[in-house]
Amino acid sequence: MAQLMSFLIAFSLLAFAPLCFCGKSSSGYLYPQFYDHSCPKAQEIVQCIVAKAVAKETRMAASLLRLHFHDCFVKGCDASILLDSSGSIISEKRSNPNRNSARGFEVIDEIKSALEKECPQTVSCADILALAARDSTVLTGGPSWEVPLGRRDSKGASLSGSNNDIPAPNNTFQTILTKFKLQGLDIVDLVALSGSHTIGNARCTSFRQRLYNQSGNGQPDNTLDESYAAQLRMGCPRSGGDQNLFFLDFVSPTKFDNSYFKNILASKGLLNSDQVLSTKNEASMELVKKYAENNDLFFQQFAKSMVKMGNISPLTGNRGEIRRNCRRIN
């Protein structure tokens, strides 16, 4: 009997060991239950405010998703993108990929202020970005996933990192793949995460060269469908109209689905970085075909790759801080 008791005690200790271990914030693990005790309503609050913002303006879903991506690719998912310039900090908002382009900061402010009322200095801005990206995906019809939590916020920003590490629309396929690999992401992640361009807009300035002068010879990009190009030229002239907006996926611009990949196969990817997925590399071409044929497969992989991206170099334990205001360090 005594033996049985000691076995049961040992077994129950083993069974709960992972929970206790996860509870140590200094262990460096992210896990979905991180705020279950310290701020049980955290996810509900984020979801509610994101839903309100997306109901008001559908484009906001893509903007919030992109903030998380542009955050994670610069020194990891640490909310450095949210910092305004002050003192020694030069804001990443000034970088080429973000200037006149990154948006949704007011929505993040609103979420942060609601969370500060509910549980002061508990939920990080970095985790808010990760949750808002997931909620935006779901609200537009995309997949859901459990978001690992426990990131902390950076005490600095990197303008040079933002300029150099974020893939650009006119980068070559190889450059884009290299930028993904530097973050520990692979070609499968690259193609799946590019699928986020199933929602949102791009500015004329980010694809103009494809319409008029792709290779410096005054000729349009020959991998771009001619009738689609003619349509785009009407709103994106040779000069002027830089900020004019175009749907990244003209078939279902506000619905998160796999039509982005079908467009690429029809030579109707908007950005050069979209179209090269099917023209410059066989492995990525195969993935584009797979996702175009199978929406469930795309959703599955997108969710996996988002978790992987959200795990890029988080600050945990005693590193970083929990900002009271996402725009400035404490």
Q: What is the dihedral of CA 80, 86, 89, 95, to 10 degrees?
A: 70
The Cβ of residue 293 has, within 10 Å, a number of other Cβ atoms equal to 13
70 is catalytic: yes
Q: Which one of the listed residues 37, 68, 70, 197 is annotated catalytic?
A: 70
Contact indicator for 39, 115 with CB cutoff of 8 Å: yes
Please state whether 186 falls in left (phi above 0), alpha (psi between -120 and 50) or beta.
beta
The Cβ of residue 286 has, within 10 Å, a number of other Cβ atoms equal to 13
CA pair distance 116, 106, nearest whole angstrom? 15
Contact indicator for 248, 201 with CB cutoff of 8 Å: yes
Residue 250 structure tokens: 């003209």
Single-letter residue type at 268: K
CA pair distance 104, 116, nearest whole angstrom? 19
CA pair distance 229, 269, nearest whole angstrom? 10
CA pair distance 54, 110, nearest whole angstrom? 13
Contacts of 324 (CB under 8 A, 6+ apart): 116, 120, 121, 330
CA pair distance 150, 264, nearest whole angstrom? 37
Residue 142 structure tokens: 């995309």
Alpha carbon 103 to chain centroid distance?
A: 13
C-alpha distance from residue 302 to each of 96, 134, 175, 290 (Å): 26, 11, 21, 13
Single-letter residue type at 55: A
CA-nearest of 202, 46, 244 to 132 is: 46
- Residues involved in catalysis: 70
